[in-house]
């Protein structure tokens, strides 16, 4: 197919490549996993940020309690 305007063949060739690229699903699973992983990391980060101070306080309380307990050396 010949066109009078220069560059028209190049434009149509690129358009057909773009259509093939848009129809290709070769990377869809990878994108799904990246989005899923990012969502899980975001949720875990939000959980740790919201519970971070409370967890630190609880661990200090547990540590204080365990330090105050004696160790039996005999039965």
Distances (CA, A) of 19 to 8, 13, 14, 23, 24: 17, 10, 9, 6, 9
Task: Label residue 10 by pLDDT band (50, 70, 90).
Answer: low
Q: Give mean pLDDT, residues 11-21.
A: 75
Q: Look at residue 23 in the predicted model and tell me its pLDDT.
A: 78
How far is residue 39's CA from residue 52's CA, in Å, rounded to a whole number?
19
pLDDT tens, residue by residue, 21-69: 777 777 778 889 999 999 999 999 998 888 877 777 888 999 999 999 8
How far is residue 52's CA from residue 46's CA, in Å, rounded to a whole number?
10
């Amino acid at each position: 197919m010949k066109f009078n305007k220069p560059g028209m063949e190049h434009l149509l060739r690129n358009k057909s490549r773009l259509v093939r690229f848009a129809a290709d699903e070769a990377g869809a699973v990878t994108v799904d996993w990246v989005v899923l992983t990012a969502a899980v990391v975001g949720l875990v980060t939000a959980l740790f940020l919201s519970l971070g101070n409370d967890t630190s306080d609880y661990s200090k309380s547990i540590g204080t309690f365990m330090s105050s307990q004696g160790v039996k050396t005999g039965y």
